[in-house]
Amino acid sequence: MPQDEENILLILSSPSGAGKTTLSKKIQQKYYSFKISVSHTTRSPRDNEVDGVDYYFVNKEKFQELIEKKSFYEYAKIFENFYGTSKKEVNSIIKTNDILFDIDWQGTKQLTSFKNLRLVKIFLTTYDKEELKKRLIKRNQNSSEEVETRLKSFDKDILHWNDYDYVLINKNLEVCFKQIEKIIITEKTNLTSSLI
């Protein structure tokens, strides 16, 4: 992967409903150098989602074809759907920008195997499971069955916190955002000083 030496690849992983999407948007709004890596998925679009902006929505056959062509840096099956990060997408962004990844622990593990990448891995979680349940219900994007599936997956996701460089508890969105900003500044500064 051709990476500009000064750019970082920031991974934000979390159980569904922990505030990751809102925080990703806030990072992009304040730090223009960050571009989000738009993933491919076989899941159906939600009402407010746009193809090519939120995801590239593809069917299972197309996804399988992309796997066979080795078009992904990583991919995973999550809640019965496939999600993957295309090499084409990442390779074009990294030359000029920092990249923000909204991917799960399986994808993070796969990206970690590319030793030449400057990955910064953040695991975000809520204070407890009850809080997560409230958020999932409030955002009203999932059926009650899906909410239960996502809550069950929390128990598994949380086991992987140790694979990350930072673990943040999102009790308050603004506080959490400030913590992420500190991480970005620290990581970018460390990088610059190591290049001098």
Q: How far is the CB of 110 from ligand 5GP (least distance, A)?
A: 7
What is the nearest approach in angstroms of ligand 5GP to the Cβ of residue 44? 10
CA gap 77, 175 in Å, rounded: 32
Rule CB under 6 A: say whether 84 interacts with ligand 5GP: yes
Residue 17 found at the interface with ligand 5GP (CB under 6 A): no
Q: Which of residues 103-162 bind ligand 5GP (CB under 6 A)?
A: 103-104, 106-107
| Residue corresponding to tokens 């998925």 | 41
Min dist. Cβ of residue 194 to ligand 5GP (A): 29
Contact between 170 and ligand 5GP by CB under 6 A: the answer reads no
192 vs 27: CA distance, rounded Å:
20
**Residues that bind ligand 5GP in the complex, under the rule CB under 6 A:** 16, 39, 43, 74, 76, 78, 83-85, 102-104, 106-107
